[in-house]
Structure 1
Amino acid sequence: MSVSPKISVARVPTQSASKYLQQLAKHWSHKMEVTHTPEEARIAFPGGAVLEMRADSDTLDVALTVPDGGDVARMREVVSSHLDRFAFREAPLTFDWADA
């Protein structure tokens, strides 16, 4: 029996999606494997989790993949709290997390 990773998705309403995506990618690039453009980012965490983000004019789409056995709730909190820090003028952002 193979076990699948847990995927969480959220569509976060914000007019500053590209700005926050780039700030978070640059912030974590010192500690993690990060690739990003102004519209998309992929961040690989040391424990195997992966965060993918896509920015458009009024939303930031977030997909978080956590390996089996990983703490999904904790990883969701890490992502949302870091984004809220960059979005302090409009925080807290609305994360409508759902399982994909």
Structure 2
Amino acid sequence: MFVSTATITTKRASIYLQQLCKHFGHKVEVRFDPVSGDIALTFGHCALSATPDNLFLTVSAETQAGQMKTSRVIASHLERFAFRENPNITWHHKTAA
């Protein structure tokens, strides 16, 4: 399993979490509430959690290609939704056992 994590500092974490989940919910299976969410893409999975000051993203996939694609897709959508804040999304990659 390949895993990437990112933390985005923002006061709008819950709003972005819900916006991402609602957007992808038109195409794939999602589950979310104001503080946590899951997006099941065909090539990977994204778990989201929100605190008052941070949005935490954890991407996982069976392949490294899936991990990279999932990270790019989630980041590109978040960047569009949060364009006023111009978020700094830095992924930390690792391989899980």
TM-score by length of 1: 0.86
Distance between the aligned counterparts of 2:67 and 2:3, measured in 1? 9
For structure 2, the 5+ residue unaligned runs are: none
Measured in 2, the distance between the counterparts of 1:37 and 1:17 equals: 12
Taking the TM superposition and a 5 Å limit, the aligned residue runs for 1:1-100 are: 5-47=1-43, 49-68=44-63, 70-91=65-86, 93-100=87-94
What is the aligned-residue identity percentage? 35
AA aligned to 2:30 is V
Partner Cα separation in structure 2 for residue 66 and residue 72 of structure 1: 5
Q: How much does 1:69 deviate?
A: 5.0
Mark the structure with the bigger radius of gyration. 1
Give me the CA root mean square deviation: 1.3
Question: Runs (4+) of structure 1 moved beyond 3 Å?
Answer: none
Query: Equivalents in 2 of 1:22, 1:13: separation in Å?
Result: 16
Q: How many equivalent residue pairs? A: 94
